[in-house]
Chain A
């Protein structure tokens, strides 16, 4: 048994046998050719054949993966018509008296080099497109199309790399999964795999290629990117179970996807997801969450060696907003201190960090850090539906101060002509008993509340969450906590604000009914809990 690590591009598990992908050897020899015009005529004929093949692939892709993803083959056809590309081939044949195959291969190297050297991952991935069309052209010069294997059993295709056209050309009914040694998750191949719902792992590395042979048993875990060659019995049993669970979960997902979060009596609630970084967005969408109820912005600071710049932050926020395509995204401003420490902030050691210098207290003491983040947030608001949320609020004066700073930032942007969403919502976390108790005074100042039940629990019950000894005393359903949440919900409603819950209690399905009866508008949970929670909601009847 040997394991390899790659990058999963489509989450699913496959257990089966390897089929090593064979392609026509694209190695090209340079030969001397006297009759340049005949070589050029050969290129023209090959181009015609290649275009015809691409047209067929385009039509196949259109049926299997839809228009958006089939369009790349249209682009391939256009690339084949590109003047510079063709001029380069013709020039090489004419000036260096080389054969057509060599001229195409050299041209392909030059153009893919150009894309590969660009400082943009998307464009770098285009180098593969140039190689793909060129290999096709070379194959067509040999008078043949791509070699096709006669294969009847469902296999796991392993290759060095798969060009988009090769991915689509694979017979979907005979491919269980595919694994490549190279490749980027930005490549069209990865995108196509996702759309064909084929488990795929890319970038497994060269070692893997050297070890594999046709017929070897292999397990592909598209979730973790793990590849297991010749697994032992225990591993097969374990992974089979994971596969079954996954299929069951997907069946539930399929059934609940696109359905409303509505109870039997017609009460609706939003179910959002919590994320801790840009990469979490995939899971949010895959689990059909209605938005992001808590995007912890700390990761930007934790992953950095120094204060992240406005531009870095802006790019990250924008990416999430754009990926969510108009769905609500609530980003919480910096929440460090307590259990989350960052060296470059140079915070003093504290006797009691949970009650110490943290979150909004740091932001209000060091407004330059706060303003940088707010500018980045407001700039990003032009790209989606943003809500900005402030943590650890205890008083009206804090909120007033925060809003003043927001207005200042907005005024600067307005003056500089930088676009932002004037209607971007602002809200606060209800995670201290103080905030809940004065929620009648806070609600008129903001658009929304979001209850952070983890901190609210520890502050209300005076129980340290990290201390295992206190577990018998820690009743997360404590009446005091529920009363505080209800108080905040009542006050929110009365003042026209909406209220959500983003702490762990939101995912506790034994409380869902209680929360809905309180009039909670939104529950934000980690992505895997979205659909089970939807399931719970859809079975509730509040009229009883």
Chain B
């Protein structure tokens, strides 16, 4: 299991498009990618639930990646966050 935290820098937070891209990215891996904020967590492939979390700029989110390809998946997700959010 891999975990890491990230502080959202994008002004609008995790809005529609990056949420869509993140969901798409996570689907490419067999590992389960979960995002957690304030005790609430969802699987990031669940686009609407992910948008529904209302993650805003300045929020700290915690990722948990678990599965066979967790190493690669965690790296890809972390890079995605840094480049897009």
Which B residues are within 8 Å of any A CB, using their own CB?
Answer: 11-13, 15-17, 19-20, 23-24, 45-49, 51-52, 54, 56
Q: Given A72-B17, A74-B20, A75-B17, are A120 and B56 neighbors across the interface (CB < 8 Å)?
A: yes
Binding site for B on A (CB under 8 A): 71-72, 74-75, 78-79, 81-85, 111, 114-115, 118-120, 122-123, 126, 129-130, 322, 383
Knowing that A74-B17, A122-B13 are A-B contacts, what are 17 other residue pairs whose CB atoms are under 8 Å apart, sorted by A's residue number? A75-B17, A78-B20, A78-B24, A78-B47, A82-B46, A83-B45, A84-B49, A85-B48, A114-B52, A115-B51, A118-B54, A120-B54, A122-B12, A123-B51, A126-B16, A130-B48, A383-B11
Give the residues in chain B near A126, CB-CB below 8 Å: 16, 51
Residues of A within 8 A of B19 (CB): 75
27 A-B contact pairs sorted by A residue (CB < 8 Å): A72-B16, A74-B17, A74-B20, A75-B16, A75-B17, A78-B23, A78-B47, A79-B47, A81-B47, A82-B23, A82-B48, A83-B46, A84-B49, A85-B48, A111-B48, A114-B48, A114-B52, A118-B52, A119-B54, A120-B13, A122-B12, A122-B15, A123-B51, A123-B54, A129-B16, A322-B11, A383-B11
CB distance from A223 to the nearest CB of B (A): 26
Of B11, B17, B19, B47, which is in contact with the most chain A CB atoms at under 10 Å from its CB?
A: B47
Q: Which 3 A-B pairs have CB atoms at the shortest separation, nearest pair first?
A: A78-B20, A75-B20, A75-B16
Inside 8 A of B11's CB, which chain A residues have their CB? 322, 383
**Central interface residue in B16, B24, B56, by most chain A CB within 10 Å:** B16
A84 / chain B contacts, CB cutoff of 8 Å: 46, 48-49
- Which single residue of chain B is at the shortest CB-CB distance from A130? B48
- Chain B residues touching A, majority SS: helix
Return chain B residues, CB-CB under 8 Å to A122.
12-13, 15
Cα distance A79–B45 when bound, in Å? Answer: 11
Residue of A at shortest CB range from B11? A322
State the Cβ distance, A69 to closest chain B Cβ, in Å.
10
Distance to closest chain A CB from B15 (angstroms): 6
- Residues of chain B contacted by A82 (CB below 8 angstroms): 23, 46-48
